């Protein structure tokens, strides 16, 4: 090959590589920190270390999980421990995770929980599981295991896990890759790195994408995920939205679609914590691109849409907690694109969860602080 042609090809390849890296590093739009704000906050529940999950029974009554293994029933700001929980395996990022009310909770009093569990009685660690039970005041009864990921692992990372419901009688929950990125997320015969869909009684829907396919986990709805720690349902479309931790860079927001591969670790906008590359690909055939991604990572956690008129200009905006940078991120979305990002309550602490209450206010679970209510001042 002619030396001049060789040089041009190498230049083109190098330029393409730089463009890819540049795209991966660019975070558009740049996040804003407003000089003046029209909101403040008040602590409605204090004395919580890692308030992982939150579910409102009414405007003044809610359930809150402590990762260490305590489920609190809180009414008028008073905490009471709920008894009757299953055994909880606490290790690393795992423990008592999310909690959610059955869509007909007012009639049947059923709640759901995701947590670390070892039901096998072995010494191989634990894995993420989904339970349900009936709540009578501060007593949980008729506790049932609906799904248990396998195999157990002593690794402490990437358990997930959030719970949401669609409008068709299905429950969705997430499990992280459990620190086994090279096997679990892309292997449909293994748990981990997946979003699962069940009927409300724990059975598997007949129209799940991998039902009756040999060597697959039939509860799986989507795969190729790293560590999904935020999930919510879009108030208008009914779509399940999920966020997940990337490695160093590459945190993602995804709109969950049936049977879809979201690529981890075959494609990613992040790199190893050591600075070395995971892959040279940010896209590949038959792998879904994220709706949005962050570089650098913000450590995303809980996620919720604001649907009320409580806050001026916030209706239909998406809110995501940042563990790493200790703020709530407000994302304004227009024409299916993030057009504005804003820091809310900057440096308040590690925001583990965000939920819109029945009263339309946004409530945050902040590590070491408790449950915080955002209050407009004008």
Annotated active-site residue in 158, 170, 225, 234:
158
Distances (CA, A) of 172 to 114, 195, 323, 354: 11, 7, 23, 18
Going edge to edge, which strands form the sheet with 170-175? 163-165, 170-175, 194-199, 220-223
Instruction: Kindly report the number of other CB atoms within 10 A of residue 92's CB atom.
Output: 14
Interacting residues of 187 by C-beta distance below 8 A, sequence separation 6+: none
For residue 36, the Cα-to-chain-centroid distance in whole angstroms is 30
Task: Point out which residues pair with 318 in neighbouring strands.
Answer: 305, 331
Nearest partner of 51 among 20, 89, 79, judged by Cα:
79
Distance CA 307, CA 140 (A): 31
CB-count burial class (<10 Å; 0-12, 13-18, 19+) for 18: exposed
Cis peptide before 29 (omega within 30 of 0): yes
CB-count burial class (<10 Å; 0-12, 13-18, 19+) for 84: middle
245 is catalytic: no
Catalytic residues: 158
């Amino acid at each position: 090959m002619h030396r001049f042609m060789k040089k041009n090809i190498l230049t083109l390849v190098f330029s393409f590589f730089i463009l890819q890296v540049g795209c991966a590093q660019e975070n558009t739009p740049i996040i804003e920190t407003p000089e003046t704000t029209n909101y403040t906050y008040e602590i409605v529940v204090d004395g919580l270390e890692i308030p992982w999950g939150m579910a409102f029974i009414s405007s003044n009554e809610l359930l809150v999980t402590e990762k260490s293994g305590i489920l609190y029933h809180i009414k008028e700001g008073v905490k009471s421990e709920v008894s009757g929980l299953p055994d909880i395996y606490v290790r690393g990022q795992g423990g008592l995770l999310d909690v959610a009310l059955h869509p007909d909770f007012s009639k049947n009093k059923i709640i759901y929980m995701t947590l670390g569990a070892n039901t096998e009685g072995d010494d191989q660690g634990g894995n993420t599981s989904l339970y349900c039970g009936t709540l009578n005041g501060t007593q949980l009864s008729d506790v049932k295991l609906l799904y248990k990921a396998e195999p157990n692992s002593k690794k402490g990372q990437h358990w997930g896990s959030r719970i949401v419901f669609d409008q068709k009688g299905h429950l969705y929950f997430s499990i992280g890759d459990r620190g086994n990125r090279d096997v679990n997320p892309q292997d449909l015969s293994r748990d981990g790195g997946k979003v699962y869909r069940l009927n409300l009684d724990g059975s598997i829907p007949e129209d799940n994408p991998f039902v009756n396919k040999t060597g697959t986990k039939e509860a799986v709805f989507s795969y190729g995920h790293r560590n999904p720690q935020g999930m919510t349902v879009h108030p208008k479309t009914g779509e399940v939205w999920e966020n997940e931790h990337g490695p160093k860079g590459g945190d993602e927001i995804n709109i969950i679609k049936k049977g879809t591969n979201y690529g981890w670790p075959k494609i990613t906008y992040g790199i190893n914590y050591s600075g070395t590359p995971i892959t040279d690909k940010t896209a590949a055939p038959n792998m879904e691109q994220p709706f949005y991604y962050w570089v650098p990572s913000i450590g995303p956690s809980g996620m919720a849409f604001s649907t009320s008129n409580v806050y001026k200009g916030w209706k239909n905006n998406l809110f995501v907690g940042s563990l790493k940078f200790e703020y709530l991120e407000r994302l304004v979305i227009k024409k299916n694109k993030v057009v504005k990002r804003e820091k809310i309550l900057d440096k308040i602490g590690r925001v583990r969860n965000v939920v819109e209450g029945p009263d339309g206010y946004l409530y945050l679970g902040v590590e070491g602080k408790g449950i915080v209510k955002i209050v407009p001042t004008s």
